[in-house]
Structure 1
Amino acid sequence: MSASPENGEFGTVPALQAALHAEHAAVYAYTYIGARSGGRQRERCYEHLEAHRAQRDTLRVELNERGATPDPGRPAYELPESDRDSDLDAYAQRVERQAAQAYLELAAAPAAAVRGLALRSLQDTTLRGMEWGTRLPVFPGFVQGTPPSQAGS
C-alpha cells in the first residue's frame, strides 16, 4: 500500500516492487533499442542498459533484505511504433519518465537509506531522460512534470 492521507502508512515493499518493475521495463527497452540503433545512440543505450541492470539488482537486494521475493519481469513490454531513431529516442524517454515516477513514490519511504536510494535514482533517471531529448521537468517524476493539485489550498 502506498502512502495516503487517509491511512498515513507507506508500503516500502510495494514501492520497491514498483521501482523494480520500472527497471525490468527499462532493461527490456534498452535491449530492444540497442539491437535497432547504431553509433552514438547504441553506445548511450548500452551505458544506460548497464545502469538499469545494476539498479534492478540493487532493488532485488533491498527486497530480499525485507524478506520479500522480488517480482520477475514480464515476458514482453510495449514497444515503439517503429524503429526510426526518433521513435527509439521517444521510447527511451518514456521508460526513463516511468522509472522517475516509481522512484519519486519510493522517496516517501520511512527508511533514510531507501529514501537516499530513491532520490539518487530519480536524479539518474532524469538525467538519462535528458540525454534522450527530454526537457528538464520542473518537478521530475511527476506526471507531466507538474505536482498534483493541492486540493483545498
Structure 2
Amino acid sequence: MAAEPAEPPEREAALQQALAAEHAAVHGYGFVGAHSVEGDRTRSRWHRDAHRRQRDELRDALLALDATPVPSESAYPPPESTDATALSDFAMGMEERCSQAYLELSGVADPWLRELAARNLAEATIRALAWGAELPTYPGFADDSP
C-alpha cells in the first residue's frame, strides 16, 4: 500500500520558518566575520549580505500576504570556540538550517515561492560547500535522505 502524500506546508508558516533561519544566519555571520581572519572574514561578509537579501525577500513576501514577519531574536547562541574550524562548522550549520527551511518552503503550492525556495536552497548548499561541507545527496534533508 502506497503512503499518502504529505499535506503541503502552509505557506505563511513555511515563510516564517525560513525568515527565522535567515535572521539567525545574518546574526551568525556577523559573529563569524568578527572572529575570522582576512579570507574567511571577506567570505562571511559576502554570505551575510546574501542572507540579508534573502531575509528581506522573505519579509516582503510575508508582508504581501498581510502577515506580520517574525522578528529577529535579541541574541543567538555562538559557537563553542572561535578557532577557524569551529567558525567553519558554525557557518556550515547555519547553511544547513537555512537549507532545511527552504526545503520545507519548496513544498508550498505557490509556484513563485517554490522557485524562491529552490534558488535559496541551492545558494545555501553552495555557501556550505565554501566553508568545507561535503555535497549532500539530498540538500536540506536533516539526515541526507528523503
Give the partner amino acid of 2:87: L
User: What is residue 25 of structure 1 aligned with on the other side?
Assistant: 24
Q: Scaled by the length of structure 1, what TM-score is found?
A: 0.90
User: What is residue 38 of structure 2 aligned with on the other side?
Assistant: 39
Of the two structures, which has the highest relative contact order with CA contacts closer than 8 Å and spacing of 6 or more? Answer: 2
Structure 1: state its 5+ residue gaps: 148-153
Aligned-partner Cα distance in 2 for 1:100–1:8 = 20
User: What is residue 94 of structure 2 aligned with on the other side?
Assistant: 95
User: What is residue 75 of structure 1 aligned with on the other side?
Assistant: 74
Aligned-partner Cα distance in 2 for 1:10–1:33 = 32
Give the partner amino acid of 2:26: V
Structure 2 SS opposite 1:124: helix
Structure 2: state its 5+ residue gaps: none
Aligned-partner Cα distance in 2 for 1:30–1:66 = 29
Q: Which runs of 4+ in 1 moved over 2 A?
A: 5-10
CA deviation after TM superposition for structure 1 residue 47, in Å = 0.3
Give the aligned CA root-mean-square deviation in angstroms. 1.2
Aligned-partner Cα distance in 2 for 1:66–1:55 = 17
Identity of aligned residues (%): 42
Aligned-partner Cα distance in 1 for 2:107–2:27 = 27
Aligned length: 143
